[in-house]
């Protein structure tokens, strides 16, 4: 293995392990604070009450989004001619997810957190109404079906496509199986959830499998170094 390949495997490997570790922390924080209320006023009080935890979730999530890049670059860099198209499509889906998450998801969560804190810290009814109006748009975006599409379906599709890559020795059989399952459960959660609400719970299974997928990618990448 060349020095460049070794460094790339090491960077991607450790990035994958860090993502898996941070996902565990983020998930634990979500469990602690629970789901935000549907009512906008209650939601603002909720985000204000848990603003420290939410900012922790926000910063950790932004960092994990960035760590997707060296991981996917490794898979793209090590592609074989036979996998050119499928690898490029998978790479596109993941990069699209990272872009949308960084440009839409976390800025809107930041608006809700800051607005919630401002709402609690003022007794002026007019100012509170202005804050509610400002926060309503962000909450509508985060509660929309589109939100589920780009935070669940798009990355799940990208990861599942990596299971079809044949010429990359980082992607072993367990990683392929888990990748395909992530895609299946992601599709069921988003598309099935449109018709049967309870199917949206499959997103939890997809999230757990995604954590495992990153863990296995990290182990496999670092193992390639030790075998050389």
Cα 124 to Cα 170: distance, rounded to the nearest angstrom: 58
Kindly report which listed range (25-29, 152-156, 190-194) carries the lowest average pLDDT score.
Answer: 190-194
Please report the pLDDT score of residue 2 as a whole number. 66
Q: How confident is residue 224, by pLDDT bands cut at 50, 70 and 90?
A: confident
Residue 96 scores a pLDDT above 70:
yes
The pLDDT of 210-223, averaged and rounded, is 95
Please report the pLDDT score of residue 203 as a whole number. 94
The closest of 88, 94, 101 to 164, measured between CA atoms, is: 88
Q: Within 10 Å of residue 125's Cβ, how many Cβ atoms?
A: 8
Share of the chain above pLDDT 90, in %: 81
pLDDT in tens, 100-123: 999 999 999 999 999 999 999 999
Non-local (6+) Cβ contacts of 215 within 8 A are 16, 17, 20
0.85 exceeded by pTM: yes
The closest of 62, 50, 165, 158 to 106, measured between CA atoms, is: 62
The closest of 156, 161, 154 to 99, measured between CA atoms, is: 154
Q: Mapping DSSP to helix (H, G, I), strand (E, B) and coil, where does residue 148 land?
A: helix
Q: What angle do CA 87, 88, 90 make, to 5 degrees?
A: 65
Q: Cβ(27)–Cβ(228) under 8 Å? A: no
The pLDDT of 54-70, averaged and rounded, is 97
Q: Cβ(217)–Cβ(74) under 8 Å? A: no
Non-local (6+) Cβ contacts of 141 within 8 A are 104, 108, 147
* Packing angle of the helix pair 51-77, 106-120 (nearest 10 deg): 170
Residue 167 scores a pLDDT above 90:
no
Please report the pLDDT score of residue 227 as a whole number. 66
Task: Pick 53 or 167 by higher pLDDT.
Answer: 53
Please report the pLDDT score of residue 166 as a whole number. 83
Cα 67 to Cα 160: distance, rounded to the nearest angstrom: 18
Mean confidence (pLDDT) of the chain:
93
Lookup: tokens for 49: 């009450």
Q: How confident is residue 75, by pLDDT bands cut at 50, 70 and 90?
A: confident
The pLDDT of 7-32, averaged and rounded, is 95
Residue 143 scores a pLDDT above 60:
yes
Residue 178 scores a pLDDT above 70:
yes
């Amino acid at each position: 293995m060349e020095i460049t390949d070794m460094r790339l495997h090491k960077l991607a490997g450790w990035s994958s392990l860090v993502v898996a570790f941070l996902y565990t922390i983020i998930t634990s924080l979500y469990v602690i604070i629970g789901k935000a209320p549907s009512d906008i006023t209650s939601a603002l009080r909720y985000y204000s009450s848990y603003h420290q935890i939410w900012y922790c979730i926000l910063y950790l999530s932004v960092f994990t989004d960035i760590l997707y890049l060296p991981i996917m670059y490794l898979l793209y860099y090590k592609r074989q001619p036979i996998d050119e198209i499928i690898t490029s499509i998978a790479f596109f889906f993941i990069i699209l997810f990272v872009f949308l998450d960084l440009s839409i998801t976390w800025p809107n969560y930041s608006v809700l957190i800051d607005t919630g804190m401002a709402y609690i810290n003022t007794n002026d009814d007019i100012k509170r109404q202005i804050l509610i109006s400002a926060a309503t748009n962000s909450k509508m975006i985060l509660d929309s079906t589109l939100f589920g599409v780009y935070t669940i379906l798009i990355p799940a599709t990208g990861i599942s496509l990596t299971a079809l890559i044949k010429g990359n020795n980082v992607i072993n059989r367990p990683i392929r199986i888990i990748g395909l399952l992530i895609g299946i459960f992601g599709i069921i959660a988003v598309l099935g959830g449109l018709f049967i609400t309870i199917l949206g719970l499959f997103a939890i299974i997809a999230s757990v499998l995604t954590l495992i997928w990153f863990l296995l990618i990290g182990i496999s990448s670092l193992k390639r170094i030790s075998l050389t």
